[in-house]
Amino acid sequence: MLKIGNKYIGINSPTYVVLEAGVNHNGSYERAIELIDKAHEAGADAIKFQTYKAETLVTKEAPKFWDWKGDKEMKTQFDAYKALDGFSWDNYPKLIAYCDKIGIEFLSTPFDFESADYLNKVGMRAFKIASSDITYLPFLKHIAKFQKPMILSTGASTIGEIQEATDTILAEGNNQIIVLQCTLKYPTEVYDANLNIIPTLQKVFPELTIGLSDHTRGIIAPIVASIMGARLIEKHYTVDKTLLKSADHWLSVDPIEARQMIKGIKEARVMLGSAEKKVFECEEETRMYDKRSIVSKCDIKKGQKIERDMLICKRPGIGIQPKFIDIIVGRTAQEDIKEDKVIKWEQI
């Protein structure tokens, strides 16, 4: 159990939903505000952006690992990241203040030490670590020193690498860690989602909180993951899938889908109920009229011995249960019983 802002995240808390806007603001402060507003309206707990400079993230020749027709002219990772790294840092304090005002948590993933320090300085309350940096142990160690919650994506990683990363964070006295199952493929096909790893991560890291960073298209995976124990869900999000510039727009959920996803996650959690099989209060009337009772198949006179062929089992279930029919057979009627009447114990 840990806390981001005023919300707890853990086994007994509602699933925490982060809508990952990344750089889908396309460099526009106004679009960033629109992303925040619509994420809040959809019911998200947090919205997350990304903070980086292309020069400190990738070499100029680093090949892309995604295929999007909208950036064919961008030959390398550097080209793609450089096109969107100009969002002014002066915007962040204003965005954090706006998020606080309307009631949604502001997050942004830093990709270098300077970005991390700045985001910590302006009051960001938790840090998301991208899958690409799970093996960047000096970076994890630096952020762990802030003593704030750390959300760790694990795409394209081994259990051993996750263990090294979490050990590095824990060694700094920071146990506020959320480990996210993630398949690092944009988009992820359903057969690669591998949600069964969620219970495995719970067993391997029993003291940590487990969640999902999802790159599948659609909203099914987050809902299923929440049922399987994911306590935090991160999902790529945009206000318009047709926008260009960022490679994330087309594979993200839009505000309508985000609302449906969050509603589905909440309902799925409620649907789990308890492990106890019982008659629910909502079933009591149904149980009374839906089950069967022993019923007279014909008129039965007072003093008459009851034979098996005098009885039938019908609804409603307000009389003697069918399992007692062999006990009834051979007994004597204490009063006249009309045909097609539910038989009561006091009548025999």
In a domain, 40, yes or no: yes
Cα separation, 172 vs 341, whole angstroms: 76
Q: Identify the CA nearest to 154 among candidates 169, 173, 133.
A: 133
Give 181's strand partners: 212
Owning domain of residue 286: 281-347
Look up residue 78 and give its amino acid: F
Task: Round to whole Å and give the CA distance between 47 and 179.
Answer: 18
> What is the distance between the alpha carbons of residues 60 and 178, in angstroms, rounded to a whole number?
32
Domain end call among 272, 299, 326: 272
* 272, 289, 322 - which closes a domain: 272
Q: Examine residue 303 and state whether it is found in any structural domain, yes or no.
A: yes
Q: Look at the block and give the residue holding tokens 């890291």.
A: 205
- 0.85 exceeded by pTM: yes
Strands 311-314 and 293-296: what pairing? Answer: antiparallel
Helix ranges (DSSP H) in 301-346: 325-328
What whole-number distance in Å separates Cα of residue 222 and Cα of residue 235? 8
Q: What is the pLDDT along the chain (348 residues), one digit of tens a residue?
A: 899 999 999 988 999 999 999 999 999 999 999 999 999 999 999 999 999 999 999 999 999 887 766 666 778 999 988 988 999 999 999 999 999 999 999 999 999 999 999 999 999 999 999 999 999 999 999 999 999 999 999 999 999 999 999 999 999 999 999 999 999 999 999 999 999 999 999 999 999 999 999 999 999 999 999 999 999 999 999 999 999 888 889 999 999 999 999 999 999 999 999 899 999 999 999 999 999 999 999 999 999 999 999 999 999 999 999 999 999 999 999 999 999 999 999 999
Give the single-character DSSP code of 111: -
Q: Check: CB of residue 247 under 8 Å from CB of residue 80.
A: yes
* Residue among 178, 180, 49 at smallest CA distance from 119: 49
- 149 and 125 housed in the same domain: yes
The residue with tokens 């997350």 is: 48
Residue 20 lies in a domain: yes
Task: Give the count of domains, the chain.
Answer: 2
Q: What gap in Å lies between CA 143 and CA 137, rounded to an integer? A: 10
